[in-house]
Structures are given as C-alpha cells and as structure tokens.
Amino acid sequence: MTWRKFSGEIIQTPILDEVEHAIERETALGNKLKVCIGTDSQVKGAVTDFATVIVFLREQRGGFMFIHQERTSQKMSIKERMLTEVQKSIDTAYRLCDLLDLYDVDLEVHADINTNPMFKSNQALHEAMGYILSMGFVFKAKPEAFASSYCANKMVQ
C-alpha cells in the first residue's frame, strides 16, 4: 500500500513508522496533535477512484496529511461505495490506533456521508455510524467530516 505526502513525495517507510516519526517530530516541536482519517471516492465511467487521508491537526497551528489512492473497476451501488469508503478509513484507523494511544493522540474517523436524508449518501449513515462506533472510534459525518469531505475529496478529483 503506497502512501504519499501532499507534496507528492512517496513515503518509502511503512506508514506506521512514518506516522510515529511525524508524532515524535511534532511533539518535540511542542505541538498537540489530533488525527482524523477519512476516505472519499469518485466514479468516472467504469472506474471508481478512492482516496484515504490521514490528517494531522496541530492545535492552533495548521496541519498536514498523508494520502493513499486506489482505483477499482468493480461496479457498486451508492450505499456500497459509501460503506467501502468507511471500510478503508476503519482499516487505516485500526492499523494506527495502538500507536496513537501510545502517544495519547486523539483519533476521529470521518465519513463522507450526509446527515440530511435528501442526499443519496444518507442511506448508508446508520450502518457507517454503527460500524465506526462499534470499533471504538469517534465518528464524524458531514458537515463535520472535513477529512473525507474536503481533504480526501481534493485528492480523488
């Protein structure tokens, strides 16, 4: 699984090592961190592009992110696609949660799902929320889910 920085630089080390290095660096600089993980997708003809982001927020000092992109030609309903996004975010969160606990870094999982029933993505809200919460993660949906709705969204277009 290839991750990269926002600059486009490919991360050569395992993502767990890179996240730990980032936490140690930011802590040494006196920054309090929070990590938000989100995934967004976009259908383009017969393919669906996914982007998962690990967003590091520095308290009152901006942030940075690591990005993973993938593509599939598997056909999915909107609900399936929303739940696949959630699955990708949970997989990443699960890989990082022990490390984040060790360094006392708060973690949120963001779902690009609208809380307004007028939107198609809303049909996956209850399953996504239940899935994320049952894994023990803090859940955010639109409009608070900026990691998926804004950060990952910019990477998938």
Q: What is the pLDDT of residues 54-81, one digit of tens each?
A: 999 999 999 999 999 999 999 999 999 9
Residues 126-150: what's their mean pLDDT? 93
Taking residue 149's Cβ as centre, other Cβ atoms within 10 Å add up to 21
| Burial status of residue 99 (CB atoms within 10 A of its CB: 0-12, 13-18, 19 or more) | middle
Q: HSE, CB side, 13 Å, CA atoms: give it for residue 111.
A: 30
The answer on pLDDT for 157 being more than 90 is: no
Q: Which two tokens stand for residue 137?
A: 């993660």
Looking at domain 4-156, its CATH class is alpha beta
Question: What mean pLDDT do residues 9-24 have?
Answer: 98
Please say if the pLDDT value at position 1 is more than 90.
no
> What global pTM score does this model have?
0.94
Q: What is the mean pLDDT of residues 118-131?
A: 91
